[in-house]
Structure 1
Amino acid sequence: MQNRTIHHLSHIDLDGYSCQLIMRYTPYTKYNYNANYGAEVKAKLEEILEKIQKSNESTMILISDLNLTAEESKWLDNEVKKLNENKKDITLQLLDHHGSGEECAKKYGWYFLDTARCATKIVYDFTKENFDFDAPTWMEKFVNIVNAVDLWKQDEKDNFEYGKVCMRLITETRELNRVMFAKEDTEYKLALLHEAVKYIDEENAPIILDEKIHLLKKDFFKDQHDDTLDNLATEFIVNLLGESKTQKTIYYKGYKGYLSYGVGNTSIIGNGFLVKFPEYDFIIDISFRGTMSLRANNKVSVAQIAKEWVGGGGHPNAAGGRILGFKEQFRYDKVKEQIESIIHKKESIAGDLEYKKG
């Protein structure tokens, strides 16, 4: 394969992330995206297309462990054709094993379907045949492990049992938010899988991995000191929030705020952020359902902000509310657009905020 940039969209389970683990051993520039079924798939594809439009590189869109609907397939096929007609150089390839994509597979040459193999095994075989590929010695065995558990082959006992632990390793890895920290969340999961393969050949391998999961997570978040997993993850997240201050700062009536989306645990993370970055007057986290959680540190009454924005309330340093009509988003910029629209409407009609001196 010629030197292309690969935009790789995959599912959010063990099979999906394992496809991306395989692609780490190819030499191409790669960008990973992950989506669950529903509106998130198209949202991620739109994000990929937007990035391609801004680039002049030869590009492959690789989709794994996700079956597209007929409508999504038609839309994507048309979008790629339009871009190629506009002198872009885009190759499209989908590798999947879900039988519900059969009609699309018959219609589009780029839609490859094989229900006898999990997506990880399909990607592995495809990569060996089509890409420059430096596969490590453990990879084939790991692929068979994922295949056994994803297709629920209980007769392959050793592979199946180890795959079950790997599956839990992914499903219970929720420390990072997939929207706010998409890149870091994917890297976190891939790093854990990369550590998990080290125990494949151990006696009682499933038990060993099961007992090490907590330590593997802590090792990812550790810097120079040890602490509880919660504290290590909180410090890591606060640092990530700080690294993207420019894009995530909002202002309301002269007060400087930070807008996060779906991070949760606002009492700990929010207060930790305000202590580390005292130039901020408040922080607000929006949940996927539109619930607002606000925190301050004696600089402004967030109860007043919550009241003015959505009729919410609470205490001067801790308040909340709910945004009526909020639309769940899979991209941070879309969330910020909704919040800035509220701010624009409210700033012209709300009264002065109560200022709390420290």
Structure 2
Amino acid sequence: MSTPNIIRPEGWLYHLSHTDLDGYGAQYMVDQTDQRCHFFNADYRDINNAIDDIVARIIKAGEPAGLLITDLNLTLDQAKALDKRIGKMKVPVELQLLDHHATGADCAEAFDWYYLDTDRCASLLTFQAVADQLDETKRELMRQRAEFIDVGDRWLRDHDDFRRAIYLIGLVMQDDHLAPPLKDLKRAYRFHVMEAFFRSHESGESLEAFERNLFEVRKAFLKGRVEKRIFNDENLPLNDKFHMLSASVLDEDFVPVLEIEGVRTGVFFNWPHDVWRGVIMDMMEVRGQIDMAMGIRGNGRLSLRANPGVNAGEISARYFGGGGHPGAAGGELKDNRLRDLAHAVSAIQKTLSAGER
């Protein structure tokens, strides 16, 4: 079975892929070309939201575009809805899906834009789709790298590279200590780590040698992205430097700021605790962007951290059925099924309004 060439729209290509090594690997292959591309990643529960976001962006741009989906198999209902939606767009939009999950067989039978091949992972399929855009040297290099990803993703246990391939899977999935909303930065970090790993592997280095050098690999990502004094400060933990990088690029597009009794309060939805703690310290104490930080989970439970002069415990007791210390407190919202950041902000605003009556 021959993999079709990747779609090449007149305008931007919008590439949606999975959130694992194979998903990022497929985007890594497209990134080797000269195509103008916006990348997006989603797990299965977020496919519909991701497609909504992409369609909205295409409509706003108002120019011909392409939607490429890799390493995500759609249900038949999702495929039908997407096909209908793209067909009704006022601007021409090409659609293509490259995947290897057998559960998408019914979709592949129903739609010619849905390409299914269960014998190759998405990274390998995507490489083959873009191979004609690469020069001979890069084509051979990317072929080897795509085949390496295939070993781990399809769990080819008898292959000599199996242990190394599953190591790379774990490496890409490790916490990067970057803020969750910074998806482009987090993807760039994964491309950086993948590139470093492949170079090490291709040079014949052992995994132990790569692991010993991993600190330097991670630190190299920060070069040019954080101030030199931060980059060179040997008394700052590396993870803290990633938190500082996050704080330096976050704004209200990523972290909504609410006024609670005159206190500028940043809202952070479903952040890993260590990242949240590190980022808010920089935003509050160094940059002065907010006076209080509210970390909130999908179950409605929240944590508050405040600068001196702000009593988080009193605020939590007054509005959120909680309490604690002036600098640190906990509480909860009545709504314990929060979908996303917008839903969380809405629930907080309703709680505040009710408490002010």
TM-score, scaled relative to structure 1: 0.87
Map of 1:325 onto structure 2: 335
Deviations 1:252-283 (A, max 9, x none): 23222222223323444323321123353211
Confirm or deny: 8 A CA contact 2:33 2:134 kept in the other structure.
yes
2:205 is equivalent to residue 199 of structure 1? no
Confirm or deny: 8 A CA contact 2:22 2:153 kept in the other structure.
yes
Confirm or deny: 8 A CA contact 1:281 1:299 kept in the other structure.
no
Shift in Å at residue 328 of structure 1? 4.1
Confirm or deny: 8 A CA contact 1:271 1:296 kept in the other structure.
no
Among 114, 118, 122, the alignment partner of 1:119 is: 122
Instruction: Name the SS for the 2:61 alignment partner.
Output: coil
Letter in 2 for 1:236: L
Confirm or deny: 8 A CA contact 2:320 2:333 kept in the other structure.
yes
Can you give the 5+ residue segments of structure 2 that lack an aligned partner in the other structure? 1-7
- Aligned positions of 1:219-230 closer than 5 A: 219-222=220-223, 223=226, 224=228, 225-226=232-233, 227-230=236-239
Map of 1:339 onto structure 2: 348
Instruction: Name the SS for the 2:44 alignment partner.
Output: coil
Sequence identity of aligned pairs in percent? 25
Confirm or deny: 8 A CA contact 2:255 2:266 kept in the other structure.
no
Map of 1:81 onto structure 2: 87
Deviations 1:194-237 (A, max 9, x none): 22221122224433333333332222235321432222122122
Map of 2:324 onto structure 1: 314
Shift in Å at residue 82 of structure 1? 1.6
Letter in 2 for 1:252: I
Shift in Å at residue 95 of structure 1? 0.6
Paired residues, number: 338
Confirm or deny: 8 A CA contact 2:14 2:38 kept in the other structure.
yes
Deviations 1:83-120 (A, max 9, x none): 1xxx2111111110001111111111111110000010
Shift in Å at residue 336 of structure 1? 3.0
Could you tell me how far apart the structure 1 residues matched to 2:57 and 2:278 are? 35
Could you tell me how far apart the structure 2 residues matched to 1:302 and 1:312 are? 10
TM-score, scaled relative to structure 2: 0.87
Shift in Å at residue 304 of structure 1? 2.1
Instruction: Name the SS for the 1:200 alignment partner.
Output: helix
Shift in Å at residue 59 of structure 1? 0.8
Map of 1:352 onto structure 2: none
Map of 1:353 onto structure 2: none
Letter in 1 for 2:39: N
Report the RMSD for the aligned CA atoms in angstroms: 2.2
Could you tell me how far apart the structure 2 residues matched to 1:238 and 1:70 are? 41
Could you tell me how far apart the structure 2 residues matched to 1:36 and 1:249 are? 28
Letter in 2 for 1:127: V
Could you tell me how far apart the structure 2 residues matched to 1:117 and 1:300 are? 56
Among 283, 292, 297, the alignment partner of 1:287 is: 297
Map of 1:299 onto structure 2: 309
2:155 is equivalent to residue 152 of structure 1? yes
Shift in Å at residue 137 of structure 1? 5.0
Among 20, 33, 36, the alignment partner of 1:29 is: 36
Could you tell me how far apart the structure 1 residues matched to 2:142 and 2:304 are? 46
Could you tell me how far apart the structure 2 residues matched to 1:197 and 1:136 are? 15
Map of 2:248 onto structure 1: 239
Letter in 1 for 2:19: I
Can you give the 5+ residue segments of structure 1 that lack an aligned partner in the other structure? 350-358
Among 11, 18, 31, the alignment partner of 2:18 is: 11
Confirm or deny: 8 A CA contact 1:165 1:209 kept in the other structure.
no
User: Structure 1 residues 113-122 or 207-216, which shifts more?
Assistant: 207-216
Shift in Å at residue 124 of structure 1? 0.8
Letter in 2 for 1:322: E
Map of 1:253 onto structure 2: 261
- Aligned positions of 1:45-194 closer than 5 A: 45-83=51-89, 87-129=90-132, 132-133=133-134, 135=138, 137-157=140-160, 159-178=161-180, 180-194=181-195
